[in-house]
Structure 1
Amino acid sequence: MNIVVSGAGGQLGRDVLEYFRGEKGIFITGFSRQEWDVTDSGCTRQILDGFQPDVVIHCAAYTRVDESELKPRSAYLVNVDATRQIARECGERKIRLVYISTDYVFDGKNRAGYTELDPPHPVNQYGRTKRLGEKWVQKCCPDHLILRTSWLYGKYGHNFVHTILEKAKQKEALSVVTDQVGTPTYTRHLAKQIGILIKTDAKGVFHTANGGSCSWYQFAKTILDFAGLNYPVQAISSSQLQRRARRPACSILLPARSIAEGYPVMPHWKVGLRDFFRDLRGDGG
């Protein structure tokens, strides 16, 4: 299987490359933002024609949630226009497209969480652009997987786990919201789930987050516990944080399709965090 990855310099893209390079029968090539400007249609065609992949894993995205409110055009260009172009090119060439989407396509009003059958209703610009990206993938590329995930963190790049650890190390005050609930997802586990699904004939939308749920506050406390750090965390409300973009209060992704169709589901988020620290130490492979 010949795979091409966009956004390969990001935290998920790097783990996808590492995971698949250990798989037999897989030839994978990753392109960073500098190597593949996904907003450049000519560059997209050149890469697809040159490498002739069986699968494109589209990790590239404009993920700066608050900045998307200030720069809606920038978010739209990457998350909608570029995704539409990639989906069209993949559809024309009969390439399978894996599109990484987000829990932020939901409004967060359902406290029980969301299955793949629940209607999306995003509440911020980032979520709206990712939902439009989903629609273009569905329209333009029949052979597609739309994988919604949430609260991503990994060894690489900037993320919540690294921020909490760094602030504790620097003895900075930690205030974390307690009224937003979701599921932290380890990028290495998501890479493995992508590997599982692309080896099947699965198509359509799948929820691919680690299991269970917690608030950001509970997540921060658990990070510090797993790191062996006894450091205080203050619980605050979202309104106290005063962020520009509204966040869904509850964005738990339930893997209903995987359960119904007999695909493996991802482990609990605490297992993900345990594996993250093990991988960070380099003692678990």
Structure 2
Amino acid sequence: MTKSTEADSKYTHLEQMSVKELLTNINKEDKIVPYAIEKVMDKIELVVLAAAERMKKGGRLFYIGAGTSGRLGIVDASECPPTFGVSHDRVIGIIAGGDSAIRKAVEFAEDDINQAWIDLSAYEITEDDVVIGIAASGTTPYVIGGVKSAKANGIFTACIVCNSDSPLSAEVDVPIEVIVGPEFVTGSTRMKAGTAQKLVLNMISTSVMIQLGRVKGNKMVDMQLSNNKLVKRGIQMLMGELSITYEEAKELLDKYGNVRNAINNF
């Protein structure tokens, strides 16, 4: 396969560019990303529908990846509990090399084709769950092995990749191929490819959580009130939803612990 993610940058002599030129050209390349995503909306929709259906029955959503891709999955998974009030075991991000790889690369961790299934099996994964493999190249052995084993065990699988017709895409039920082209710095897939993966993950998890009833109107009524900013946001939500004063909203929030419960018990 030809890897567009590894192709030479359209720009050269980067070290001779001014800061303004660097920023302008990086931004120019970044603008490609949402248009590339627009071309695969039908595939993203299929993944959201499959994940929502299974999660409504108690299933879970797993992300597996290595390096930047693995970190992006962990970020998305870790943001679901505070944003939508779901427990930490509903959306789970797994990175090659384990948690220590979140901050520091673990050498050759991504090359073990069997380890991802071992990592998934530790969660007693079942057919009610969904596994999404994330790999810009679409060739990462850790991710390929994980989705292949998951699919063989009757689990719905998908992937987010940035190359066409990759080995990873061939192993999943629904491949999401966001073709963003060569990076500004040749091969640095933390740039456009990483941005594309982040945007798609945002779309998937947010849409799934809305399907699960975790948003009311356009508000995060199940968010965890983990700091003063979020407490104030909750109070403002109650004031707007219930047409009550700041003091009344604060009292309700203090009593019931979150926005949804406060609304339901008003």
Normalising by structure 1, report the TM-score.
Answer: 0.36
Structure of higher CA gyration radius: 2
Q: Give the helix-richer structure, 1 or 2.
A: 2
Normalising by structure 2, report the TM-score.
Answer: 0.38
Q: Give the strand-richer structure, 1 or 2.
A: 1
